[in-house]
Amino acid sequence: MPPPPSPIDSLKHMKKVIVAMSGGVDSSVSAALLKKAGFDVTGMLMKCWSAEDPFGESCSAQDDERMARLAAAHLGIPFYSINLIKEYKERVVRYLLEGYRKGITPNPDVMCNKEIKFGLFFDKAMELGADYVATGHYARIRNSAIFMAKDQNKDQSYFLSFIKPGVLDRVIFPIGEYTKPEVRKLAKKFGLPNAERKDSQGICFVGKVDFVDFLKEYIPAKPGNIVDMQGNVLGWHEGAVYYTIGQRKGLGLGGGPYFVVDKNVKKNTVTVSANGDDLLKKEVKITYINWFSKPENEVVEARIRYRQTPAPGVFQVDSTGNSGKLVFSAPQRAITPGQLAVLYQGEQMLAGGIIA
């Protein structure tokens, strides 16, 4: 179902909004749009990584803060920062590392949204008297529900699927109605100093850090065998925890391409196949479901990874309401334990759950 029209004009009238400014163009344009619409806007940056931490020198946090301050100054709005370094380590980094140690592939960006941006940051903004919190996410909120963004290629509803539904009445996504090229044009129109800044990539708040190098800093290498589907040894790896289902690069095997189809952290083996069809599955169990809206029927669409076109299927929830079985109409590639399956009906996001 498509979302109803944007309510942003009905929200203003000098309502106080704190914008999570990251130094990027999306959050800066969000602040500019809200100010133009008549809100009382304050910018605030979350400090979640320290220069003293591993990869601190290559972390983009310092430059992010500088750009956010420049954008806020250009817009003439107050700007502050909040130190969440300790909390980020405890709630996001620990979640990430514990998941990899167990042999699954967790999503730190989803947990960052749940625990940091729409958890601690949201709570702090409310304590400071804000009526709303705004971020530069590509998504839309209508009638206390999350819908896909106008820009389907940039839609970030997948990453928002674990936030508390109760915060939605106090959250605004100003750029959800715009495409990325339109946001870039707005940034230039507003004269923002970061209008040409490239989008950040990598670990949430840490930036462009090689992910395996990041893992190795916390989880020591443990060499083991790479085997085929019949158990024949094809090569060796530095640690089964560093690999994920569907991975093709970085295997160091000749005669491929090979794909990771399984890993066993207890036996420390990585199983590969040269047949991509070995990655296909139709059924997936979903646990720890976070519901926004119950489906009208069992027929849904689902994403098992970011930017995937939602695939049709049937979802059968169990009696607890916290888990269920998703059966896709067509087999899906590289269903990965620990990642999220996000359910939709039309453009409306219904729920997110962890793939078991």
Rounded CA-CA distance 310/301 in Å is 5
Q: What mean pLDDT is predicted for residues 278-287?
A: 97
Length of the chain: 356
Catalytic residue flag (residue 204) = yes
Give phi and psi for 342, each to the nearest 5: -115, 130
Average pLDDT over residues 189-214: 79
Tens digit of pLDDT for each residue in 221-258?
999 999 999 999 999 999 999 999 999 999 999 887 99
For residue 125 the two structure tokens come to 């903004």
pLDDT at 225: 98
Sequence-distant (6+) residues with CB within 8 A of 200 are: 22, 24, 60, 64, 207, 208
Q: Which CATH class is domain 8-189?
A: alpha beta
Task: Print the SS3 string covering 268-293.
Answer: CEEEEECCHHHHEEEEEEEEEEEECC
Using DSSP bridges, classify how beta strands 16-20 and 132-134 pair: parallel, antiparallel or unpaired. Answer: parallel
Task: Examine residue 78 and say whether the peptide bond preceding it is cis (omega within 30 degrees of 0).
Answer: no
Local confidence band at 14 (pLDDT 50, 70, 90 cut-offs): low
List 84, 111, 204, 326, catalytic entry: 204
Mean pLDDT calculated for residue range 2-14: 60
H helices of the chain, in order, are: 8-11, 25-36, 61-75, 85-88, 94-102, 108-112, 121-127, 180-189, 211-218
- Domain locations in the chain? 8-189, 220-274, 279-355
* Contacts for 265 with CB less than 8 Å, ≥ 6 apart: 101, 102, 103, 240, 241
- What average pLDDT does the segment 115-136 reach? 97
Q: How many whole angstroms separate alpha carbon 69 and alpha carbon 116?
A: 20
Average pLDDT over the chain, rounded to an integer = 92
pLDDT for residue 13 is more than 60: no
Asked if residue 336 has pLDDT above 90, the reply is yes
Q: What is the mean pLDDT of residues 54-76?
A: 82
Q: What is the mean pLDDT of residues 203-207?
A: 59
User: Which candidate, 307, 63, 60, 108, places its Cα nearest to that of 211?
Assistant: 108
Residue 155 pLDDT class (50, 70, 90 cuts): very high
**CATH architecture type of domain 220-274:** Roll (2.30)
CA dist 267 → 105, 142, 224, 241, 262 (Å)? 17, 48, 8, 11, 12
Q: Is the pLDDT at 201 greater than 90, yes or no? A: no
pLDDT, average across residues 140-157: 96
* pLDDT value for 11: 60
State how far the alpha carbon of 32 is from the alpha carbons of 75, 175, 179, 254, in Å. 7, 10, 16, 52
pLDDT at 55: 59
Confidence of residue 45 (pLDDT cuts 50, 70, 90): very high
Q: What's the confidence (pLDDT) of residue 7?
A: 57
Instruction: Tell me the average pLDDT across 252-266.
Output: 93
Q: According to the CATH classification, is domain 279-355 in 2.40.30.10?
A: yes
User: Is 59 among the residues known to form the active site?
Assistant: no
Catalytic entry in 41, 112, 195, 300: 112
